[in-house]
Amino acid sequence: MPMLPLDDLTVLDFSTLLPGPLASLFLAEAGARVIRIERPGGEEMRRFPPRFGETSAPYAVLNRGKASVEIDLKAADALARLTPLILQADILIEQFRPGVMARLGFGHEALAAINPRLIYCSISGYGQFGPRSGDAGHDINYQALGGLLGQSLKRGAAAPLPPPLVADIAGGTMPAVLNILLALRQRERTGQGCHLDIAMSDAMPTFAWYGLAQGQVTGRYPEGGEGLLTGASPRYGLYATQDGWFLAVGALEAKFWDVFCEAIGLEHALRDDSLDPSATRAAVAAIIVGQLATHWRETLEPRDCCCTVVRTLEEAVADPHLTARGLFDAQAQEPGGRRLVSTPLPLAPVFREQGAGLREVAASGADTEEWWG
């Protein structure tokens, strides 16, 4: 078995729900030993539907290949009982509101005194400091505060609910993994760990990079629907098909736009969309809605014009390209033997375990005596 980049590291994961557990899954897939620290009875996601054997499917797809121990962090002897694990650990991930771990006796300063090499990663909605640091929130709140939602909402128009949990994954998980890896590199040089303050809301303006550039230079920030990628251009958007489904058009560059216009038979007078973007969009919409989604899949997808019929999740799981990339190879298995595809991770194959697509789900309360004696 080839060496994996993190196979000499131990991670203590105190987090719950999505951002932290997904971050520790990345580390586990790259070889790290991840030990989940859960409250008595297990964390709340173990009870999320649908059921998967003794646990839940959402929990299973995030926690394959991890171990789990249960402990009441409020107990007087909790720190003493966990100290052997803290001494072994390289990385700790927690996702409580700021100040909670410190009140429990597990704050960064207390644990750094036990293990100065510990990389302590705190993931929260608004960060460890700032006016909102103690506020509750979820993905949609962080997107709203950071201006990300505002880029796609038009005043007075219907407001679609964005399906991607951008703040949780791109604002919590990904920055946590990135900064943990940077901290490991720094520790190689200094021998010291550190405290990472990951705020999910911090990453939301990152996704508004284009609008921020426009607003600062022109003095006017784009309203919802006015940006090049948020509705202003007929070259970039969703068009309804005859059967009520959607075609995603991303023909921004002239070479793609020309091929697209020719393929759908858009009249030449409307192909210069700088003259009257609304008229061009209306004409394109009228053409696209005149045919079934299957027609546009056969007509446009083979051409070099950045057009894709929207896939349902069920279709995506069976898509030949995605399956060929191995995205759905990793599987989780519960003690009863049932299997399901684990959360796909965009890790390069060279950095993850090969030929080990099937791994057990963290069992509630398991392996306690292995580390505590």
Other CB atoms within a 10 A radius of the CB of residue 320 amount to 7
Q: Is 295 a catalytic residue?
A: no
Q: Is 202 a catalytic residue?
A: no
Torsions phi, psi of 254, nearest 5?
A: -55, -40
Q: Which of 7, 8, 72, 138 is catalytic?
A: 138
Q: Which of 168, 197, 202, 273 is catalytic?
A: 168
Catalytic positions are 138, 168
